[in-house]
């Protein structure tokens, strides 16, 4: 399975701007892009960190914080 990540997509842009650690931002962007591809905001997102849920909420995901 191949997932193309659009670097201009809202998830990719928002996470890259929200997180100063570029490597973590890229991983978060990939996670959100995959979640968007799998079902978008109709899927709840479970996360344990801070930048990812902020970005997910900004693009319409319901976030379940632990």
Mean pLDDT across the chain, nearest whole number? 75
Tens digit of each residue's pLDDT (9 = 90 or more) over 45-58: 888 878 888 888 88
> In the predicted model, is pLDDT for residue 5 greater than 50?
yes
Tens digit of each residue's pLDDT (9 = 90 or more) over 21-39: 777 888 888 888 888 888 8
Q: Where in the chain are the domains?
A: 10-65
- Regarding pTM above 0.85, the answer is no
State the average pLDDT over residues 6-27: 64
Catalogue the E-assigned strands of 1-66: 45-47, 63-65
> In the predicted model, is pLDDT for residue 12 greater than 80?
no
């Amino acid at each position: 399975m191949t997932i193309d990540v659009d670097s201009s997509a809202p998830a990719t842009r928002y996470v890259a701007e929200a997180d100063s650690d570029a490597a973590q931002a890229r991983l978060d962007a990939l996670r959100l892009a995959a979640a968007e591809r799998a079902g978008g905001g109709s899927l709840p997102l479970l996360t344990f960190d801070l930048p990812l849920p902020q970005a997910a909420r900004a693009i319409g995901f319901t976030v379940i914080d632990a």
